[in-house]
Amino acid sequence: MSRKISLPLLYVAAYVVVVVLVPLILLFFYSLHASLSPLFLKILAASVEQSFLQGSISTVLSLGIGLFFGMLLILYDGKFKSIILSLLLITYVMPGIIMGLGIISIFGYSSRLWEIIYGNVVYNSPMIAVLAYSTGTSTNLGEIYSARVLGAGDSQVLWKFYFRNSLRGGLLGGILTFILSFEGFSLPLIIGGPSYSTMEVIIYEFKNIVPTFTQFPFSNASLPGILQVLILMVPLYIYLSIRGNSRRNDSGLPLPLKRYSSFALTGLLLFLAFVLTPLFAVFLKYPIWMINLPEIVRRLQLPFSSLLGNTLIFSFVSTFVAFMLSIIITVYRPSTRNQFLILIPLIFSPVTLALSYFLVYGGHVPTAILIILIFTVILIPLNIRMLTQAVDTIPNSETGSSRTLGDSPLSSFFRIQLPRVKWEITTILSLMFITVMGEFSSIVTVYSPSTETITVGIYRLLLLRDLKDTYGLTEIFLIVIFISSYIINRMGKSGSVGQA
Amino acid sequence: MVRLDKLNVQGICKKIGGVDILKDVTFSLRDKEIKIILGASGSGKTSILNTIAGIIKPDAGKILKKGMEITDLDVNRRNIGFLFQDLGLFYSMNVAENIAYGLRVRNLDLKEINRKVNDIARSFGIAEHLSKFPSQLSGGEKQLVSLARTLVTGPDLVLMDEPLSSLDSFLRNSLRWYIKDIPRKFDVSIIYVTHDLADAEILGDTIAILHEGRIIEDGKKEEILNHPKNTATARILGYNIYEKDGKTYAIHPSKVLIGGPTVAKVIYLERGIKNNYLVDTSFGKLYFFSDQEFNGQTGISLENSIELGA
């Protein structure tokens, strides 16, 4: 006897149709009408080559560096560990456009491949280090001490236990690095120039600069979009299949290789200097007191309140909507298969997503709504992953108890699970808010003057070659990000988020 | 008038990750009965409880409560209590809030909730702990809070998943008598899964033996404990198993008598509350315990052995 199809599966199916299938089908339909001129094919081939080249080199370098410093994170057992981890994650949430500006502030406008690679490595190696550290520290200390008792030396412990486990997280980060570098946008656009355009850049350019070739105006942007989706399906599938869990080791046993802690700290401080240089370079080159807001406004011909308002409103609304949808999806997630379907929007890169949503919904909804929709869809997979990981740390028996005592799934989530992961939720909200505030590639593809955000403003100033005001607006933006995340964290501390 | 069973489990099957966890599980439960499901680790004990509670859905089979099918009913609508192995206390709530939880989700009046919480806390001797958080309680107190929280909502049936396994033997003993009293005091039936024979002996009215996802024996406690019908049951119940003349026999270590025709050489003697012997016989190694001294000269009697089926 087989049981009936569950309601959650229907929700998931509806979500997949609206969010993924319809945009994908329309994108595919448009791509069939692309004008395949020799020039277009040459540009497309060059962009595919650049995407692979930048993706591969960045992955190899980031993986080597990230794994090494991930091991140092494991070896370091001092009081600065949480500060170092937080600082490392700064680069990961830093908008790509700011990374690009940081690199320009160090090397000037030079348009070299290795500068893009450098940016990708700075951007991704901390993430790999943190993931490697995360899976590395899940090593069972009981196993390590058993090996020690049986005669294993420091190098064997490091290699056979810690490194093997770190490799799991590191490889996961490596796949993610390949995907992010392959679909790189901000760095190739800002510092790469035409020779180093990736597929993501040419999608944007065919959409915004040369949109009309045939009766289907965006067909030449759609073709590389579809091609990119197809190429990235493989690494995305591998990534989703092997994504790892990190579990803190709470056996109470001391760390076995504690004696290398100070050596590890020295290495980690050097790593921090390496990854934070582009961020600080911006502030060093143009100190904060040189910001000239009236001049920035004059150059952009837009009131600053409009830029700031758009940035905050889009970020707030999309974070809130994505969070609420993610809660519903997290609560009703019955199987791994359904989780996979939910994470399917990850196959869209931000520019492809923006283009496909523009094709489907652009003519029917105001740009502001379109932007919020795009931001929400970008955030949901990220949000669900983090929320699921946080909720899964709560013993099943607690949720089981509340359900057998008569509570509904949603109510049980709010009453039992949410208060238990209050801190994690605060961090998730803060991360999502920062991520979406810094989102550049999707909004630059679809924005209109009335929906311009600060990141687009920064880009426009850069196009005007007005570096002083570009850096001024960038610094204002970083201050806004800092204040916003501080407020969200304060809300979390006072409990209003946890009790939402 | 036909008297309906409290619970009827009919042909439940469940496959997880391609492995058959439950195979055609069938049994029933009467009013105020305590049924022990006894099985080794990994035999599917917890999966049976999760299926009855509605936490996992069976692939096939039916579950009827008081004659009504509840197989597809949501977990929160079954009115079945569940005492998890790790108790599942809400660590973000104090004891009073933990106990009141099920009453609050039933939208009871605040006065009524307070009265019920205080009454049950008094009856379980935990009234002075109401404002404490679970992390401030001892293992035994946590058990009592979990029991109170489960029973305060008036479930028809309570499922218990080895709730005493993490306690010391003194606490385990005293809580067993608490649980023994529950069906009479609270008018509920209990399904209690364990691998601990002492739990089965003291608590059970009936015992079902679970082996590799299948109920292989089900019946009155005395019958199951004293007359296992097959090898798997005898092993789970701690019997010695040996073969003689092509037949398989089982004998409980307490039923081996000193003095008899079977020649036995002592391999180990460990003195404790009783004398524990491991002896070598022509049927293989046997374990028994006795108050008497045995040095291998008198032989042993296996006359209390039971012949087993397949």
pLDDT of residue A42: 92
Residues of chain B in contact with residue A423, where contact means CB-CB under 8 angstroms, are none
Find, among B158, B155, B199, the residue nearest to B176 by Cα.
Answer: B199
A406 with B105: Cβ contact below 8 A: yes
CA distances from A114 to A107, A110, A359, B151 (A): 11, 11, 35, 68
pLDDT of residue A317: 96
Measure B188 CA to nearest chain A CA, in Å: 15
A274 in Cβ contact with A447 (< 8 Å): no
A129 in Cβ contact with A271 (< 8 Å): yes
A433 in Cβ contact with A488 (< 8 Å): yes
B52 in Cβ contact with B83 (< 8 Å): no
B78 with A404: Cβ contact below 8 A: yes
pLDDT over 80 (residue B154): yes
For residue B65, give the 3-state DSSP assignment. Answer: strand
A448 in Cβ contact with A365 (< 8 Å): no
β-pairing, B206-211 vs B34-39, is parallel
Contacts 24+ apart (CB under 8 A), A41-49: A43/A197, A43/A202, A44/A199, A44/A202, A44/A223, A44/A224, A44/A227, A46/A197, A47/A197, A47/A198, A47/A199, A47/A201, A47/A202, A47/A224, A48/A199, A48/A227, A48/A231
Kindly state the average pLDDT of the residues A92-115: 83
Residues of chain A in contact with residue B76, where contact means CB-CB under 8 angstroms, are 403-409, 412
A&B contacts, CB < 8 Å: 83
Q: What is the pLDDT of residues A473-487, one digit of tens each?
A: 999 998 888 888 778
Cα separation, B76 vs A402, whole angstroms: 8
Q: How far apart are the first and last CA of chain A?
A: 42
pLDDT over 90 (residue A108): no
Q: What is the pLDDT of residues B35-83, one digit of tens each?
A: 999 998 889 999 999 999 988 889 999 999 999 999 998 888 889 999 9
Within 138-167 of B, beta carbons closer than 8 Å to A belong to: 149-150, 153
Cα separation, A451 vs A456, whole angstroms: 10
pLDDT over 50 (residue A84): yes
Residues of chain A in contact with residue B81, where contact means CB-CB under 8 angstroms, are 404-405
Average pLDDT score over chain A: 83
Residues of chain A in contact with residue B17, where contact means CB-CB under 8 angstroms, are none
- Run of H or E residues at B37: strand B34-39
DSSP conformational letter for B305: -
A395 with B61: Cβ contact below 8 A: no
Kindly state the average pLDDT of the residues A164-190: 90
Q: What is the pLDDT of residues B12-34, one digit of tens each?
A: 999 988 899 999 999 999 999 99
pLDDT of residue A212: 58
A400 with B91: Cβ contact below 8 A: no
Of A396, A409, A419, the CB nearest to B92: A419
Find, among B84, B75, B47, B78, the residue nearest to B65 by Cα.
Answer: B78
Find, among A408, A374, A352, A367, the residue nearest to A179 by Cα.
Answer: A352
Q: pTM (2 decimals)?
A: 0.75
Q: Each residue of B270-309: b (16+ CB within 10 Å) or e?
A: eeeeebebebebebeebbbebeeebeeeebbbbeebbebe
Cα separation, B86 vs A247, whole angstroms: 19
Q: What is the pLDDT of residues A385-423, one digit of tens each?
A: 788 878 888 888 888 889 888 888 888 888 888 888 887
Q: What is the pLDDT of residues A425-437, one digit of tens each?
A: 888 888 888 889 8
Of B76, B84, B86, the CB nearest to A408: B76
DSSP 3-state helix, strand, coil percentages of chain B (rounded to 5)?
Answer: 30, 35, 35
Q: Would you give the distance in Å from CA A424 to the centre of its chain?
A: 17
Cα nearest neighbour of A408 on chain B: B76
Q: What is the pLDDT of residues A339-365, one digit of tens each?
A: 666 667 777 888 998 999 998 888 888
B55 with A1: Cβ contact below 8 A: no
Q: What is the pLDDT of residues A120-160, one digit of tens each?
A: 999 899 999 998 998 888 877 767 776 676 767 788 888 87
Chain B interface disruption, residue of A335, A404, A422, most B CBs within 10 A = A404
A1 with B60: Cβ contact below 8 A: yes
Measure B102 CA to nearest chain A CA, in Å: 5
pLDDT of residue A343: 67
Cα nearest neighbour of A419 on chain B: B92
pLDDT of residue A79: 84
B61 with A1: Cβ contact below 8 A: yes
pLDDT of residue A191: 85
Q: What is the pLDDT of residues B259-305, one digit of tens each?
A: 989 999 999 999 999 999 999 999 899 999 999 999 888 899 999 99
Confidence of residue B2 (pLDDT cuts 50, 70, 90): low
A395 with B88: Cβ contact below 8 A: yes
Chain A residue set in contact with B, beta carbons under 8 Å: 1-4, 395-409, 411-412, 415-416, 419-420
